[in-house]
Amino acid sequence: MNINSAKLIYFSPTQTTRKIIEGIAQGVQIVTVEHVDLTPPDARMQKFAGIHDELAIIGSPVYSGRLPIDFISRLRRLKGNGAPAVIVVVYGNRAYEDALLELRDVALEAGFKPVAAGAFIGEHSYSTNYTPIAVGRPDVEDLGKATAFGKMIREKMINIRTLEQTGSLYVPGNFPLKELRMLSDISPAMQEMLCTRCKICPLVCPTAAINADDPILTDKSLCIRCCACVKSCPAGAKTMDDPRIKQAAEQLSVNCSHRKEPETYL
């Protein structure tokens, strides 16, 4: 099978998923890599070129044990045309529950053929100095594991003559998938005094919830609480200070302090 070229397809507001996907691609030793970043709001309308005779490495963060709905709708715009796909979820050291199973099925529906899967760990979007959760992950050890996983995928692909030869890929998860429970009408607070109007936050917001002309204004109904704005604000003007999120973060920093390790399925 051709594993000289690959498309890295991902949704990654705080960049941990992107890092893992890149680590895997490095291990596969792909010559030509093209990024299909589904994170910016433009991906909701963008026309994507079809995937032909190449490997797809598809990654998403885990939101409440499932996939972010914005990622699913954007991935559905792509046509897999039977291309082999490595599917990856990245979670904040709590649990990935049904996300990998959901990704396998969404990838299949979009015309991809999942051949390998992985669940990796990234710093939790709600991690702060006061409520640290998986800080700094993926770290060197995680990225080493991502590259080693890529090498295993290379071996597997070299030995496959036709994809029909490969059976359905097992990944853990429950069906029916766990019910989606998303909090609404919460968005990070902005401390106007600290804001320098650098306009990084509207640039990194995956749903265009932050007004591009006046970043003080956020449409709460569009915010998916990914914390891209919080983590990228150079002035520390954005904070997720809703009491429900703060309480969740406090619990996670206590209950999920034991380091989890990546899991892979080939």
Ligand X SMILES: Cc1cc2nc3c(=O)[nH]c(=O)nc-3n(C[C@H](O)[C@H](O)[C@H](O)COP(=O)(O)O)c2cc1C
Q: How far apart are CA 249 and CA 130, in angstroms?
A: 9
- Cis peptide upstream of residue 138 (ω within 30 degrees of 0): yes
Select the residue interacting with ligand X from 3, 7, 9, 14 (CB under 6 A): 14
Q: Which residue of 2, 42, 69, 95 would you call a contact of ligand X, by CB under 6 A? A: 95
User: Can you name the residues that pair with 33 across neighbouring β-strands?
Assistant: 6
Give the SS3 label for residue 38. Answer: coil
Applying CB under 6 A, the span of 102-110, 154-162, 171-179, 220-228 interacting with ligand X comes to 220-228
Q: Does residue 125 sit in helix, strand or coil?
A: coil
Burial of 181 (0-12, 13-18, 19+ CB in 10 A): exposed
Binding status of residue 207 toward ligand X by CB under 6 A: no
**238 scored as a contact of ligand X (CB under 6 A):** no
Residue 15 interacting with ligand X (CB under 6 A): yes
Residue nearest to ligand X (CB): 122
What is the C-alpha to C-alpha distance for residues 174 and 115, in angstroms, rounded to an integer? 20
The nearest distance, CB 170 to ligand X, in angstroms, is 21
Closest by alpha carbon to 219, among 186, 197, 195?
186
Minimum Å distance from CB 204 to ligand X? 10
Cβ distance to ligand X smaller for residue 5 or 15: 15
Q: What x-and-dash track marks residues 32-71 binding ligand X by CB under 6 A? A: -----------------------------xxxxx------
Q: Which is closer to ligand X, CB of 91 or CB of 149?
A: 91
Amino acid at 172: P
How many binding residues for ligand X (CB under 6 A)? 24
Alpha-carbon distance 204 to 221, whole Å?
Answer: 17
Q: Which residues of the shown chain bind ligand X in the complex (CB under 6 A)? A: 12-17, 61-65, 90-95, 122-125, 225-227
